[in-house]
Amino acid sequence: MTSTETATATQIISLCNVVLERYGKSSIGPLTWTLHEGEHWAIVGPIDSGKALVAQAIAGGLSPQQGRIVTTLPALPDQQTTHTQAVRDQITYVTFNRRPGGGASFHQARWHAVLETASATVESTLSAAGIWKQNPYEVRPKTALSAGAPADRRATFGERRDNILARLEITPLLSRRLHQLSDGEWRRVQIARALLRAPRLLILDDPLTGLDQTFRKKLDSALSEIAAQDGIQLLILMSQGTAMMDTVTHVLSLSRGEIVAQGPKDEVLAQWVPATSQQTDTAKSLPHSPETDAPPVIHMQDINVVHNGVQILQKLDWTIRRGEKWALVGPNGAGKSALLSLILGDHPQAYANSIILFGRPRGSGESIWEIKRRIGWVSPELHRYHPPHTTPFDIVCSGYFDSIGLHRRCTDEQRTLAHQWIKRMGLEDAAHSPFRHLPKGQQRLALIARALVKDPELLILDEPCQGLDPAHLEEVLRALDEVTLESSRTLIYVTHRPSEFPSGLTHILELAGGKVVHQGVFGA
């Protein structure tokens, strides 16, 4: 869209000298910005830039301290509704902050049979009743509800659903329960659910995070096609340094709550490139070591895992020796989460497989807590489930007890050691601040300290850098480099991006479709 066309196009959302504030902090603005019909914007900036506050305000979840947010969204077709209702129905904001069933016990029970009936299926979640939470007597129009789609292009819900599920590769997942999905699969389901609502404006918070490299390109193409067909406009929050999506037409760049650039994508990027170098996904040049004669920490032989008739892992053999540092890689749905759950003691099918942990066969009388005591663990799910009011110091102390939240009193010795890890991670000034008020980078550092405070024999880091901007990524990787270079530390490190590998990795295991496609010395 040219500048002349922009000037005459319909204004959908306008921010007029808007100042935003939350929790008495994070004051940003004043901001003046307009979204016109036909535009797809990316709001780009570091974690503390204020982009999330802007998205919350546009979606109606945060009122400006000053200034105005003006919307010109029309009423939905075929419905009698107020303007306020029209705005609420036509703006969908997807944050990926929490998975259903969250809480202190959810991840530990993730794979257990009790959830086979308690957790919804993907099929029901993406049904018309599931999307709009209909009761049995409610009638919804059969056409797409988007006010932006021309009347002659409003497909039936079934037609749109089939197209969206195919484009996002969700059709094979329909029989699965939500708790069985990998993080990347769950994100795809949430994006599909939002698209099926056919809002006039869809806000996505870092939609590429947690997705493998191949599917990131597919999602970009699918969003472009579906948005054009259904008259959906996109507002995408992106971390600074993330490769720009082709779907995006315009960019709003924020820094410390102020607009530093806005306009057509090519114009903004031309100004932006010299100031910020985008991340590449090239692996570091890392040292690797040959096979050793150290005793095995984990020995798995002929591992098979099946859920609802779906083969999750198939004939997998894997041995990890003390001091080895393994990269665990593979696309979404490859079986990485299931494999880690077998090791962490959360998966009931561990007892039907040949697994030896720390020299002891699974099912020989050990408790789940005896296993967890020897393992330090960080994952995106753990990041989401921690109570938001907990402080980083309490989170680090909870690592002694492998609990979500601190429910027991620490000894003086334990508190002293926790303070040492807080200092090592550079969190002294934030040690007693509410966890949810901290930047993501500091939150991750607190969770890494939690995993290490008990000096575990095995450290499992599942996407520890997910969603971090370049500054916080560098901060976290610097801390991880120090930890992983310790010769006695055994490590399993999961990521979709080679640029996020820490130094010192020695081996690699690659999965695809539940099978091992490669394993051996890292970098060989």
Give the count of domains, the chain: 2
Answer positive or negative: Cα dihedral of 276, 202, 438, 497. negative
Whether residues 307 and 268 fall in one domain: no
In-domain check, residue 64: yes
Whether residues 251 and 331 fall in one domain: no
In-domain check, residue 378: yes
In-domain check, residue 277: no
Question: Are residues 180 and 101 in contact, defined by beta-carbon separation less than 8 angstroms?
Answer: no
Whether residues 307 and 392 fall in one domain: yes
In-domain check, residue 286: no
How far apart CA 334 and CA 146 sit, in angstroms, is: 35
Give the end of a domain, one of 272, 307, 330: 272
Question: Are residues 343 and 362 in contact, defined by beta-carbon separation less than 8 angstroms?
Answer: no
| CA distance to 40, 327, 350, 522, per residue, from 285 (Å) | 38, 14, 36, 10
How far apart CA 258 and CA 387 sit, in angstroms, is: 30
Q: What is the CA radius of gyration of the chain?
A: 24
How far apart CA 58 and CA 67 sit, in angstroms, is: 13
Write the DSSP symbol of residue 156.
Answer: B
Per DSSP, the three-state class of 428 is helix
Question: Are residues 185 and 332 in contact, defined by beta-carbon separation less than 8 angstroms?
Answer: yes
- Backbone φ and ψ for 45, nearest 5 degrees, come out as 170, 170
pLDDT confidence of residue 478: 83
Rounded to 10 degrees, the C-alpha dihedral 259/262/265/270 comes to -80
How far apart CA 517 and CA 505 sit, in angstroms, is: 19
Whether residues 207 and 303 fall in one domain: no
In-domain check, residue 40: yes
Strands 490-494 and 325-329: parallel
pLDDT confidence of residue 262: 94
Per DSSP, the three-state class of 196 is helix
Whether residues 444 and 517 fall in one domain: yes
Give the end of a domain, one of 272, 305, 325: 272
Whether residues 309 and 228 fall in one domain: no
Tokens of 487: 């010769």
Whether residues 199 and 319 fall in one domain: no
Q: What is the 3-state secondary structure (H, E, C) of 351-411?
A: HHCEEEECCEECCCCCCHHHHHCCEEEECHHHHHHCCCCCCHHHHHHHCCCCCCCCCCCCC
Residues with Cβ within 8 Å of 508's Cβ and at least 6 positions away in sequence, in order, are 326, 327, 328, 329, 518, 519, 520, 521, 522
Whether residues 234 and 329 fall in one domain: no
In-domain check, residue 492: yes
Tokens of 206: 């870092």
Count CB-CB contacts under 10 A for residue 476.
Answer: 22
pLDDT confidence of residue 140: 52
- Identify the CATH number of the domain in which residue 202 sits: 3.40.50.300
In-domain check, residue 91: yes
pLDDT confidence of residue 27: 78
Per DSSP, the three-state class of 311 is strand
pLDDT confidence of residue 279: 45
Write the DSSP symbol of residue 62.
Answer: S
pLDDT confidence of residue 134: 53
pLDDT confidence of residue 24: 62
Range of the domain at 338: 296-521
Whether residues 268 and 408 fall in one domain: no
Q: Residue 56: what residue type?
A: Q
- Backbone φ and ψ for 467, nearest 5 degrees, come out as 80, 5
328 beta partners: 494, 509
Instruction: With a cut of 70, list the residues of the chain below it in pLDDT.
Output: 1-9, 22-26, 74-88, 97-118, 133-155, 272-292, 383, 487, 524
pLDDT confidence of residue 113: 40
In-domain check, residue 126: yes
Name the nearest CA neighbour of 149 among 77, 231, 89, 73: 231
Whether residues 258 and 328 fall in one domain: no
Question: Are residues 238 and 44 in contact, defined by beta-carbon separation less than 8 angstroms?
Answer: yes
How far apart CA 376 and CA 453 sit, in angstroms, is: 8
Q: pTM for this structure? A: 0.74
Question: Are residues 12 and 71 in contact, defined by beta-carbon separation less than 8 angstroms?
Answer: yes
pLDDT confidence of residue 333: 83
Whether residues 117 and 247 fall in one domain: yes
Whether residues 42 and 85 fall in one domain: yes
pLDDT confidence of residue 8: 57
C-alpha 37, offset from chain centre: 29
